[in-house]
């Protein structure tokens, strides 16, 4: 099962994200701030990281800077979670090496798309095995 690290300081948001991921057959790893998120990323080597931008202790930019400076995590895809209209944030995030960004409204659709892709890939894999 694909591991997805969710770095989000708002507990309810964090809960909701993990809730959405679980039925889609992902293994969510919740982290309540950037510092914990980076530590977890190094330990668990997730397949994808979803990361809030504004957080106490270590914000999203701090997280990506830490991850991209470590060869172990340099290639982990990271997607920023951001509010609609926060364009300067997006630009800054992309400049620092984020792979994409999601606005809140897109989150659920995105996850479903991810799940579909994963299912397709599994099916292809299984079909290949047969």
Partner 1 sequence: MQPDGSPTGTAARRIAETLKSGNRRFEWTPLRFDGTMVPLEVNATSIEYDGETLIVLVSRDITERKELNASLEKRVAERTLELLRANEQLKNAEEELRSRNEQLQRHRDVLLELTHSDKSDFAQALEKICSRSAATLDMARVSYWSVQEDGSAICCEVLYRRDTESFDSQPKANSLVFAEYPAYFEELAAKRPVVANDVLTHPATSGLAENYLKPLGISSLLDAPVWDCGEGVGVLRHEHIGPPRIWSAEEIHFVAALAAMVSLALEESSRAHSGLLLRESEARLRESEARFGTAFRASPAAISLLRLSDGKFVEVNDAFARWLGLDRDSIVGRDTVELNIWQNREERDQFLADLRRHGSVSEVERQFRSRRGTVHTIVLSAEIIEINREPHILGFGIDITERKQAEVELRRSLAREKELGQLRSYFVSIVSHEFRTPLGIIQSSAEILEDYLEQLEPAERRNHLESIRNNTGRMARIMEEVLLIGSFDAGKIEFKPATLELGAFVRRLVDEVVAVTAQRCPIELLLAKPPDKIQADERLLHHIFTNLLTNAIKYSDPGQVVQFEIACAGSEITCTIRDHGIGIPEADREWLFNAFHRGHNVASRPGTGLGLVVVKRCVDLHGGKINVDSELGEGTIVTVRLPI
Residue 19 in the binding site for partner 1 (CB under 8 A): yes
Helical H segments across 24-106, by residue range: 34-44, 60-68, 87-95
Question: Is 59 a binder of partner 1 (CB under 8 A)?
Answer: no
What is the C-alpha separation between 24 and 71, in angstroms, rounded?
30
Least distance between partner 1 and beta carbon 36 (Å): 14
Q: Which stretch binds partner 1 (CB under 8 A): 6-14, 37-45, 113-121, 122-130?
A: 6-14
Binding flag, residue 105, partner 1 (CB under 8 A): yes
Based on its alpha-carbon atoms, the radius of gyration of the chain, rounded to whole angstroms, reads 15
Residue that has been written with the tokens 């397709």 in this structure: 120
Candidates 43-51, 67-75, 76-84, 114-122: pick the segment binding partner 1 (CB under 8 A).
76-84
The C-alpha atoms of residue 92 and residue 75 are separated, in whole angstroms, by 18
- Nearest-angstrom CA–CA distance, 4 and 49: 6
Stretch that binds partner 1, among 34-42, 65-73, 83-91, 121-129 (CB under 8 A): 83-91
* CA 59-111-90 angle, 5° bins: 35
Q: How far is the CB of 88 from partner 1 (least distance, A)?
A: 8
Catalog residues that contact partner 1 under the rule CB under 8 A: 10-13, 15-17, 19-20, 23, 54, 56-57, 81-86, 88-89, 104-105, 107-108
């Amino acid at each position: 099962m694909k591991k997805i690290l969710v770095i989000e300081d708002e507990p309810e948001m964090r809960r909701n994200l993990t809730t959405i991921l679980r039925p889609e057959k992902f293994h969510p790893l919740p982290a309540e701030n950037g510092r914990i998120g980076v530590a977890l990323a190094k330990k668990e080597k997730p397949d994808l990281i979803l990361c809030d931008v504004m957080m106490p202790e270590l914000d999203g930019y701090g997280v990506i800077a830490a991850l991209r400076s470590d060869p172990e995590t340099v290639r982990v895809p990271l997607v920023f979670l951001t509010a609609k209209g926060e364009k300067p944030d997006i630009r800054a995030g992309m400049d620092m090496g984020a792979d994409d960004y999601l606005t809140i409204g897109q989150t659920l659709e995105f996850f479903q798309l991810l799940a579909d892709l994963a299912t397709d890939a599994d099916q292809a894999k299984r079909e290949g095995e047969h």
